[in-house]
A and B are shown apart, each in its own frame.
Chain A
């Protein structure tokens, strides 16, 4: 168990957790039409940071890459108003990302030793941790789209081991031609704003963002509503490296394991923040997994229509929103949802509504067959 002491989302929908939560609750979306990838391609729908966003951090521009700036901005956003000792020896930084600085390859540079060094995920992590004065070697998790969820679980474990008191968990990924072209080759991109869990869903929108959750072994001092990360679990489908399992059995097992470790039953789950990428296969698999683990009647939401699929950041962005759902007592809508899918329609809302919420389940799945589930609970 670990306590959520601070958090932030730095995204095209806002640069504070509260602003992003309000935007998602209001049904807003940062997914917009952008130029195609290759000459002759149709437009691509994605959620991108506004032009010139890096001007907000002029002192860092030039020293850090856009990917690293996203992380720094988010960590700052989470910790600036707190007394957290980021440079302490008993504070560890845990990062989540799938591709780090891969956007640097978009400009077709000559491959050199210097470029290879810049592309190192661990080196980026070290630079960001050092920026905040922390001398520990940061932990970097790169587990495809489950990275955010996995990083939170890793942080919780590190705190439980007694090695550290505080874990700054931050994740980010950028939208690049490298990644867009790949998902296009997979015919996985939606032709418009994506439609999670809808009968007519046709693919994903990519998004870029950063998010941070600071976990502490001890509960925060302030007597405000606190959320703890009760437990989590990771599994693998052992089926196919890019296609999700048809049964959802392994995600279901991760959900069951996480609930059991938290001492909770499926009935006690109040809502699910799903992976909900809006591909035909992912959403069907997740719905099957929810049915197998007995949570299919619970309110479910996906924010991929609002913020796109932020890859390594997704698990963190969506966990922050889950934490706020719990503290605000508000069930989030699913932007882009159109009609219920068959055979397993889920409880999806198109508008936010207040509700007394105590337990939230966050799920994620990714290339490589990995699945992750986290249980957040109000203290």
Chain B
């Protein structure tokens, strides 16, 4: 689980161009939207594409996006709860 969370943090930094942030600086439970990492609506969509690309997860508007994407913990929980065949 810890490996998954670290990987998520690394992917967030890479996909969202978070230049001045190190993966280890992102808290597991830290809200990443709003104040957190300064993410906006495009970043939310980008994370959805990232989850699809790396974990095979297809998240649509109906799937409680805001809750799932709220933090690294919530994303990791969702991934563990929805195992997908790797592409």
A and B touch in their complex, CB below 8 angstroms: yes
Evaluate contact between B40 and A187: CB separation under 8 angstroms.
no
Shortest CB distance B65–A (Å): 9
Evaluate contact between A185 and B41: CB separation under 8 angstroms.
no
Q: Main secondary structure on chain A at its contact with chain B?
A: loop
Shortest CB distance A176–B (Å): 19
A241 to B41, alpha carbons, bound, how many Å?
A: 11
Q: B42 in the interface, Cβ–Cβ < 8 Å? A: yes
A187 to B65, alpha carbons, bound, how many Å?
A: 12
Total A-B contacts with CB atoms under 8 angstroms apart: 14
Interface size on B, residues (CB 8 A): 8
Task: Tell me which residues across on chain B come within 8 A of A187, comparing CB atoms.
Answer: 45, 48, 60-61
Chain B CB within 10 Å — which of A186, A187, A241 has the most? Answer: A187
Which of the residues B41, B48, B49, B61 comes within 8 Å of A242, measured between beta carbons?
A: B41
Within 8 A of B (CB), among A168-225: 185-187
Task: Tell me which residues across on chain A come within 8 A of B45, comparing CB atoms.
Answer: 185-187
Which of the residues B41, B48, B61 comes within 8 Å of A243, measured between beta carbons?
A: B41
Task: Tell me which residues across on chain B come within 8 A of A243, comparing CB atoms.
Answer: 40-41
A241 to B42, alpha carbons, bound, how many Å?
A: 9
Within 8 A of A (CB), among B22-58: 40-42, 45, 48-49
Task: Sample 10 A-B pairs with CB under 8 A, ordered by A number.
Answer: A185-B45, A185-B49, A186-B45, A187-B45, A187-B60, A187-B61, A240-B40, A240-B41, A243-B40, A243-B41
A-side residues, CB < 8 A to B, are 185-187, 240-243
Known: A187-B48, A187-B61, A243-B41. 4 other contacts (CB 8 A): A185-B45, A187-B45, A240-B41, A242-B42
B-side residues, CB < 8 A to A, are 40-42, 45, 48-49, 60-61
